[in-house]
Amino acid sequence: GLGFNIVGGTDQQYISNDSSIYVSRIKKDGAAYLDGRLQEGDKILSVNGKDLKDLRHKDAVELFRNAGYDVSLKIQRRLQPQNGPVGHRGDGESGGLPLAAILVPGLALAAAAVWILLRYRQRI
């Protein structure tokens, strides 16, 4: 096989109102894992030039099974993590608060502290 599992299709929507086909798991030491370009959560748009739009899950599986030795995939990276079986974020984000959410209030507090200190020193 190609070394990965898929989810989705018109009959098994992985994301609500989206019948696209997604990579759900990359099998360790499989072809996709060894190649390194495909990631869990990627949307697969086509296989060897054949569009996967509006296919049932089993029809998409058949396309992959009959893809041959040299397989060309057109994919779209997932921009935001979704709920589901995907085990990690493929976009390198670590999660948590954005840096700006910490720096902006911190800088505002520091500016206020300096202003208060300068006003206090003028009174002495």
- Regarding pTM above 0.95, the answer is no
Across 27-115, the runs of DSSP E, i.e. the strands, are 43-47, 50-51, 73-76
For residue 54, what is the DSSP state? T
pLDDT at site 114: 78
Splitting the chain (124 residues) into consecutive groups of 10 residues, what average pLDDT does each group show? 92 91 93 92 94 94 90 85 52 53 70 77 66
Q: Give the pair of three-digit tokens for residue 13.
A: 């929507």
pLDDT at site 117: 78
For the chain, domain boundaries: 4-76
pLDDT at site 69: 85
CA dihedral 46, 1, 35, 21 (to 10 degrees): 30
Dist. CA 20–CA 9, nearest whole Å: 6
Is 4-76 assigned to CATH 2.40.30.20? no
pLDDT at site 83: 61
Name, in order, each residue with C-beta under 8 angstroms of 89's C-beta and a sequence gap of 6 or more: 41, 81, 95
Backbone angles phi and psi of 107, in degrees to 5? -65, -35
pLDDT at site 112: 76
pLDDT at site 57: 95
Q: Residue holding tokens 């902006």?
A: 104
